[in-house]
């Protein structure tokens, strides 16, 4: 009940929205030529209605020529106004028909029986044209109310001026009006069906693209597995066999080979997990687990130290568990920053600082200039995507990530994660 009342209120406001502009049915950047042609078209219709209207008014009304000319202009003006203010044009076409009705109905002079009553020829053309143009743009309750008001005018004229001998043509106008509204309703229905079909075609195309993307992801996953898994497995096997192939290996070297094997196997495990995510299109709870968290940083630091990295770490603030996404992003940024140091700044001193703030998690990874690689190109071939990956991860939570050299020559990566967004 409340919904129907709100709908009726909205229709009533739309019915009297005199300042409403026409609804756009085409692109907003319609060429000026098209707008000009539209204005010319309605102007020709208005001239035609005025031409036939003046002749009928001269033969029907005893008034002077200026009054008849003014009445004809008033009846045809809404035809032009409808392309600028459709609701106002409809009301004007209705009101402009009333002077003819009143003058003819109250006239005491003899009027021929075949005179149009209560609508003049120009009034019929103008009101029918304007009504159908407006009906194409407004909801059904609005144009049905306009149709009923048009019929009510004819009924009121018959009741008030009941002694007129002329046949009331309001029924004819209402009939043509109803036929036009029925045609417009069918046209609007076909338009909506066509739009829905286009929407469904768009959805089908999106689904096809998603399916193609999943297939491509599965293909990439297979390629990555075949390439990376082979080489990592070879590294793990060689690192495990090295202590047995080399006699008299000191304990430090043996531990290095053992660390290489552990890291290779860990990389294989994580890679297979990530490739499984690429291959899977199921959104289950275990798809993204287990993932490293900030609690695993000590293991990451130990691995980096075993690789020869001189690492100093510090944790400040209220250490607490954060959301999985925040911890994963922070872990990956620290991991990638340390990997960059190992690749591009061997022998550098590294400082990792993690600060738990009330509303932010601040991460800082800085390293001194590399004494071993001063003036030398990076020993790693190719151009990496480490910084790009870190920025993409930070952007997931709208974090601020900065990377660059400080005034003292150290290279620093800093990131501030908003805990509220995580």
Mark whether 273 and 330 lie in a shared domain.
no
| Higher pLDDT pick, 143 / 246 | 143
Q: What is the pLDDT of residue 247?
A: 74
The CATH code of the domain that includes 300 is 3.30.565.10
For residue 159, is it within any domain? yes
Q: Indicate if the pLDDT at residue 381 is higher than 60.
A: no
Q: Are strands 310-317 and 400-405 parallel, antiparallel or unpaired?
A: unpaired
- Please, are residues 329 and 396 in contact by the beta-carbon 8 Å criterion? yes
Q: What is the pLDDT of residues 224-235, one digit of tens each?
A: 766 776 677 777
Mark whether 73 and 163 lie in a shared domain.
yes
Q: Indicate if the pLDDT at residue 296 is higher than 50.
A: yes
For residue 407, is it within any domain? yes
Domain count, the chain: 3
Q: What is the pLDDT of residue 350?
A: 94
Q: Which domain holds residue 299?
A: 294-371+384-418
* Mean of per-residue pLDDT scores for the chain: 82
Mark whether 232 and 300 lie in a shared domain.
no
Asked which of 168, 203, 233 is the last residue of a domain, the reply is: 168
Mark whether 349 and 411 lie in a shared domain.
yes
Mean pLDDT computed over 353-375: 85
Percent of the chain having pLDDT more than 90? 29
Q: What is the pLDDT of residues 75-126, one digit of tens each?
A: 999 999 999 999 999 999 999 999 888 888 887 665 566 678 888 888 999 9
Q: What is the pLDDT of residue 385?
A: 64
Q: Indicate if the pLDDT at residue 377 is higher than 50.
A: no
Quick one: pLDDT band at residue 285, thresholds 50, 70, 90? very low
């Amino acid at each position: 009940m409340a919904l129907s009342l709100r709908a009726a209120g909205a229709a009533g406001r739309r019915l009297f929205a005199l300042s409403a502009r026409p609804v756009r049915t085409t692109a907003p950047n319609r060429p000026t030529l098209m707008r000009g042609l539209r204005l010319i078209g309605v102007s020709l219709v208005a001239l035609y209605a005025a031409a036939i209207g003046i002749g009928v008014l001269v033969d029907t009304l005893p008034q002077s020529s200026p009054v008849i000319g003014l009445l004809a202009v008033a009846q045809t003006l809404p035809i032009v106004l409808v392309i600028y203010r459709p609701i106002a044009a409809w009301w004007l076409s209705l009101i402009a028909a009333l002077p003819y009705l009143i003058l003819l109905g109250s006239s005491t002079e003899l009027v021929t029986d075949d005179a149009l009553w209560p609508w003049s020829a120009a009034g019929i053309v103008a009101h029918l044209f304007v009504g159908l143009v407006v009906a194409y743009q407004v909801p059904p309750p609005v144009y049905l109310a306009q149709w009923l008001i048009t019929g009510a005018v004819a009924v009121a004229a018959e009741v008030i001026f009941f002694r007129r001998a002329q046949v009331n043509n309001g029924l004819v106008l209402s009939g043509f009006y109803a036929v036009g509204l029925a045609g417009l309703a069918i046209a609007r229905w076909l338009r909506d069906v066509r739009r829905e079909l286009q929407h469904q075609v768009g959805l089908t195309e999106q689904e096809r693209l998603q399916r193609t993307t999943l297939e491509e992801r599965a293909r990439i996953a297979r390629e990555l597995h075949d390439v990376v898994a082979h080489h990592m497995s070879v590294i793990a096997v060689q690192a495990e066999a090295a202590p047995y192939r080399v006699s008299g290996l000191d304990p430090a070297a043996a531990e290095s080979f053992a660390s290489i094997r552990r890291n290779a196997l860990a990389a294989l495990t994580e890679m297979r997990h990530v490739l499984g995510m690429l291959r899977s299109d199921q959104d289950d709870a275990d798809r993204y687990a287990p993932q490293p968290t900030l609690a695993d940083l000590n293991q990451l630091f130990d691995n980096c130290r075993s690789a020869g990295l001189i690492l100093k770490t510090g944790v400040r603030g209220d250490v607490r568990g954060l959301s999985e996404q925040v911890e994963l992003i922070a872990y990956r940024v620290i991991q990638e920053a340390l990997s960059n140091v190992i690749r591009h700044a061997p022998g550098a001193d590294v400082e990792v600082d993690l600060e738990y703030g009330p509303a932010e998690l601040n991460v800082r990874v800085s390293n001194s200039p590399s004494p071993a690689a001063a003036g030398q190109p990076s020993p790693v071939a190719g151009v990496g995507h480490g910084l790009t990956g870190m920025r993409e991860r930070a952007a997931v939570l709208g974090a601020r990530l900065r990377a660059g050299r400080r005034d003292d020559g150290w290279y620093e990566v800093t990131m501030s994660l908003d805990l509220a967004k995580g």
